[in-house]
A and B are shown apart, each in its own frame.
Chain A
Amino acid sequence: MIEDGAVRLESEPEAMEDAAADSDDSAQPRRVGTVVVRIIVNLVVALPFFLAGAFGMVADDRLAQASLAVMLVGALVVLVGLYVSILSRPRLSLMRGEETLALRHPSMKPAFARIVLSVPFFVAAGYLLEFTGLPYLYPFLPFLVGMYMYFRGVIKYWINHHTTYYVTNRRAVRMYRFGWLDTTEIPVNAINSISQTRSLLETVTGRGSVLVASGIGARHKVRMEEIDNPGPVAETVRQLIP
């Protein structure tokens, strides 16, 4: 039962797909297709490590061990990516009389943006290393920044795959599962604060965050981060407050 005109929101295609997977038998091939796409994305994400490793092995025998280590990091990225791809997203067990009003996953755009933004730093590091005689500190710094952004993007991509936000007629829930399950939920009647935040970039790209709070402390807050079109989600929660 949807109370007081609260709107059911499952606007993201993937969210709708997840919801459909519960009831629709034809969703199985789609799920396989989604997993395959995720595996391909992981392979593309790990590709720089394999390319760098192969280049190092061909270019100089002295780099063989380091190249192998770099390729092992790539293999690690692929393995964790495979695990992430195969593991399904967390789903909420609804209580009797409970209905899902909004179901969202974090947007993948910030994760991909971080990965893409790391590229100029790698280019700068490569230039400083190969085409200048500057001490190694100079190429090392942009390399470090680039690697940090790259891994931030990759980790964000993995985290987002396993984070689900629910708004039901009884609670607001954030679920994260990566082998273990971490759930934060706030009963509707305990909500005392709702806020919606959007940075300039998020405004331009139609994303934002909704913070639902019942008190002070991490366990009393459900932060629905970087979701697409956060306005209707915030509105849905507002309509639930007694």
Chain B
Amino acid sequence: MEQVSLAALPQRAAPEPNNAPEVVRTVSDRTLRVGESIALDVSSVFIDLDGDPVTEYRWTFGDPDVADGSESAPGELTLDGKQVGTTSVGVRAYDGQIWSDELTFDVEVEERRGFFINSTSVEESLGQWDILDPVTLSLLGIMLTLVATGVQLFKGR
């Protein structure tokens, strides 16, 4: 039987250990109002030291009744305020092989300000007059008072 030297066999490289994407930045807590949506981008928050691209993000919402969201693109979340309260939002990144640690931040949902009353949930805010926001009210106030007092200029007294 022919003896084969081990040294003569082709050498196979040992598989390199894969590292999970790492969190390199924090995400500050967010505040939004009932019915309001804000965009959030965490694509630069995770970095994979092995150079693997992050292919997927997984979001978790502590209380989806308070705040919920949907991903418009990998790492980009549209966060929706549902009802008054505070909840936590978590996110993990995936490099195709392993998930990162979870990064969490708090989201506070405040009352939606209306003209007569504030609403504490999306359902309550459906009947609100969205047009009466501070900008419109400011312009309305300026125009009303300008017209009301401008009449005096024509009368001269």
Contacts and interface: CB of A to CB of B under 8 A. Distances in A.
Contacts of B153: 155, 158-159, 178
A8 B155 CA distance: 30
Tier of interface size on chain B: 20 to 34
Interface in A131-177: 133-137, 139-140, 143-144, 147-148, 150-152, 154-156, 158-159, 162-163, 176
A135 to B, nearest CB: 5
A176 B154 CA distance: 10
Given A66-B135, A66-B139, A73-B142, A135 B115 contact: yes
Given A136-B132, A148-B145, A162-B156, 15 more contacts: A63-B135, A66-B135, A69-B139, A70-B138, A136-B113, A136-B133, A136-B137, A140-B115, A140-B141, A148-B149, A159-B152, A163-B156, A176-B156, A178-B154, A182-B156
A133 B113 contact: yes
B142 A147 contact: yes
B142 A129 contact: no
B134 A133 contact: no
A143 B156 contact: no
B146 A178 contact: no
Interface in A33-65: 62-63
A144 B149 contact: no
Nearest to A154: B149
Interface residues of A, number: 33
Contacts of A151: 145-146, 148-150
A136 B139 contact: no
Contact of A178 (B137, B144, B148, B156): B156
A156 B118 CA distance: 38
A231 B149 CA distance: 30
A129 B134 contact: yes
A73 B117 contact: no
Contacts of B114: 135-136
A163 B153 CA distance: 11
Nearest to B128: A135
A60 B141 CA distance: 20
A162 B144 CA distance: 24
16 contacts: A70-B138, A70-B142, A129-B134, A135-B116, A136-B133, A143-B137, A143-B138, A144-B144, A147-B142, A147-B146, A148-B145, A148-B149, A159-B153, A159-B156, A178-B156, A225-B157
